[in-house]
Chains A and B, each alone.
Chain A
Amino acid sequence: MISRVGGVLAIAALALFLGAPALAGTAKQVIQDGKKFFEIDGELFPALEALGPPPIPKDNPQSVDANGWPLTDDPKVKLGYFLFFEPALSGDGSVSCQTCHVQGAGWALNSAISRSYPGQSHWRNSQSVVNAAYMSKLFWDGHTASLETQAPSAAKGLAGNGKQDMMTARLTVVPEYVEMFTAAFGSANNPVHDAWRALSAFERTLTSTDSPIDQYLRGDEDALDEAQLRGMDLFNGKARCIMCHNGKLASDEKFYNLGLPRQPLFSNIAKNQIGFRSQNYGAGLPEEMFRKTKSDLGLYHRTHNHEDAGLFRTQPLRFIEYTPPYYHNGVMDDLYEVVEFYNQGGGEDYVQKDFGYSTKTDRLKELNLTEDEIDDLVVFLEGFSGPEVLMEIPILPKPPARISVN
């Protein structure tokens, strides 16, 4: 930290001495149709923008304030809040969404590879649910398009192992839930289907839109310090981040192979291998591929196109301060490692190693960032995170010990 401040002062002093405008910026900005872009390698990329309220789908409406921000006293949201913490939505009644999306860990999990239900292990890093409401492609490989369709795969599959009928029964024996479902949806006849909708409505209130970068982009020039502004300039230019982390979401929601290092857990721990291999098996990998695959094939799982092997969705960058470790396989522990990685032009393509052809993006190049520049970029990235999103843990309604029917 101290050395970083030193660097900042030195550069500021130098800039002053040279009489150059400190914030001139080297990134190539282009205005087209009133919109701001940055140009890299002759291509235009939309500038970062402040984040507004999340989109709300027509088929799962919820109440919003005058500016379109979801209200937390909507009965659906309230129900979703309880359900997010509710372990009844899992196979053995021990796992809730909060188990892997821990509010104290940025609504993600501070573990390279996520846990699964007891007895099993997952194979990917747990993503934050903060700002998931903005994404049109959810999960690391973008395999679902809405929160409403994402939630069931979270509760039922490798995460929670919940079964529809048992979860239905568990919800309907709790009188408070029957009331809450009735208040939110008019009845408790279809509680599991409606649970996904309530969870989604709740997740639309889990937003982080007040980061220093958002404030800056809304016009508060003091929100970022000089080092961060230099970092932003690098982000938009020399460091090439804007090529993928762009627009409102700081993500183009497209898929790339960056050449990330392998996750050694899949070679070192039998239980992790089981999680990994069962996903590959479930995705129907051809025998030959199944045997050779030592790293996650990402988008390939969804499309079965060879050119999609090893591609993952560009992560949005808001809130990242709270969500290490990073990337789909959690191989990096902090933002310095991340930036060093990009500085080297990414890594060696494991698709190439396993299968003899490369899918690595050609957007990553050696950046030749100086140590000071790396510092600047890191402090800029830290500017993507506003205050933590914290709330009281709900006291969950419990079923009676015995059911009485009449």
Chain B
Amino acid sequence: MKIRSVVALTLVTLALLGLSSMAASADTRPLAPLPDAEMPDAAKVEIGKWMFFEKRLSGDGDRACADCHLPEQGWASSDALSIGYPGTLHYRNAKTVMNVRFAKYFYWDGRLDGGNDLATQARDSMTDSHFMAADGRIMGQRMKQIPGYVEMFKAAYGGEPHFGLIIKALGDFEKTLVSKNVPFDNYLKGDTSALSAQAKQGLDLFQGKANCIQCHDGFMLSDGEPHALGVAVNPDIFEVKRYTTLRSQQMFLGTPNYRNLKSDPGFFATEKNNKYFGSFVTPSLREVSKTAPYMHNGMLPTLEAVVDFYNEGGGQATNKDPVIAPLGLSAGEKAALVAFLESLSGDDLGYRSADFTEDKRPPYQLLQWVGQDN
């Protein structure tokens, strides 16, 4: 797997022509800008936005999607391990929901098919005991008692809110969370000044000496496949409230020996074959500069730490992906790789959690009954 210094220079043309990969291996797909995607109806997106920030969509009324996927933190969370539903904590890092409409599988362990079905994913998030622990029927009634929302639902869907519409609206909102004005994409589209020289060098390394393209390929910079890298176990997963979530979820997934897990089994829970133990689906690298800390368990605090990790040949694991090997990068090369990773983030979409605090959300109100007076 040799470095190809010409890659960066010819990439633009090749990408535009849709030619096959110039990357190290024949079965990787070329890096490419995000495709244009159809945006859902604006009225539906507007509802979905309010739903995304709506704490009353959780059992206790105390968790919104946006509590764990914060717009200020790259729509992920700066906690290494995520919070959970009140009374619980999570054992994984919260993934970003940016560009999630393009994901092949959802979650670090890929346990749910992606393919644009964001409503199904939202149903999971709302009902799982460690996320929002919501009863869909009750959530429908709660939204019906918020006239401000009822009007919006009527305008967008011609009917009152119910669980099915709530999750659809959430999905529609997420579909609009697509990176905008990304330097790397602009570069690929022909604006050669969009990347610094250092970032261009990083791009070369990414596709060459550092061999990242093996797994981080295509326009999402992800092959959507599981790999074990040997990221160290985060000792905090043994905190009782995190470990109970791990145990509870792995029990639900039918993972063998779920009561005695010493580490996160990852994709093994999805495909119960030992070779997958501790492997995770390659995450997209889009917006990655905004979503520190990194990896499924937030063990690597910065992009520099991630690059160091790869440079040293990853961590310890018997089933470590053979592609992961010491890279021998110089300090300058490491910095270049980081500069490239930083070019994968677009503009701030402008949402702020402060715009959706309780005083700004429409309140519950009494409903008039049919035959109110008898």
Q: Which A residues are closer than 8 A to B by beta carbons? A: 91-94, 117-120, 158, 161, 163, 165-166, 168-170, 172-173, 267-271, 273-274, 277-278, 281-282, 291-292, 294, 353-354, 399-406
Contact = CB atoms under 8 A, between A and B. Distances in A.
Nearest to B372: A267
Interface residues of B, number: 45
A167 B252 CA distance: 12
Contacts of A270: 145, 364-367
Interface string B245-269: 1011101100000011110000000
A386 B333 CA distance: 83
A118 B86 CA distance: 10
B240 A291 contact: no
Given A91-B133, A274-B138, A281-B137, A119 B244 contact: no
Nearest to A355: B371
9 contacts: A92-B60, A163-B133, A166-B245, A169-B245, A173-B247, A270-B366, A273-B367, A274-B145, A399-B240
Interface in B349-374: 364-367, 369-372, 374
Nearest to B363: A270
Interface of B: 56, 58-62, 85-88, 129-130, 133, 135, 137-138, 140-142, 144-145, 238-240, 243-245, 247-249, 251-252, 259-262, 364-367, 369-372, 374
B259 A91 contact: no
A92 B374 contact: no
Contact of A402 (B145, B239, B248, B370): B239
B61 A118 contact: yes
Contacts of B144: 277
A173 B245 CA distance: 11
B243 A403 contact: yes
A165 B371 CA distance: 44
A406 B262 CA distance: 8
A403 B238 contact: yes
A248 B329 CA distance: 85
Contacts of A163: 129, 133, 248
B248 A119 contact: no
B59 A161 contact: yes
B151 to A, nearest CB: 16
B247 to A, nearest CB: 4
Closest 5 CB pairs of A and B: A119-B61, A93-B87, A163-B129, A92-B87, A169-B248
Contacts of A354: 371, 374
Contacts of B59: 91-92, 117, 119-120, 161
Nearest to B60: A119
A404 B85 CA distance: 23
A402 B87 contact: no
B296 to A, nearest CB: 19
B56 A168 contact: no
Given A165-B252, A404-B238, 9 more contacts: A91-B87, A166-B248, A170-B248, A267-B366, A267-B369, A270-B365, A277-B145, A278-B141, A406-B260
Given A92-B133, A169-B245, A405-B262, A119 B240 contact: no
A353 B374 contact: yes
Nearest to A282: B137
A91 B85 contact: yes
Given A92-B85, A118-B62, A294-B371, A401 B248 contact: no
Contact of B247 (A169, A268, A292): A169
Contacts of B129: 91, 163, 165-166
B370 A291 contact: yes
A403 B240 contact: yes
B138 A278 contact: yes
A172 B259 contact: yes
Nearest to B368: A267
Nearest to B141: A278
A406 B371 CA distance: 65
Contacts of B245: 166, 169
A240 to B, nearest CB: 28
Nearest to B262: A405
A406 B259 CA distance: 10
B95 to A, nearest CB: 21
Nearest to A348: B374
B239 A165 contact: no
A277 B62 contact: no
Contact of A274 (B142, B260, B371): B142
Contacts of A170: 244, 248
Nearest to A291: B370
B137 to A, nearest CB: 5
Given A170-B244, A292-B371, A161 B133 contact: yes
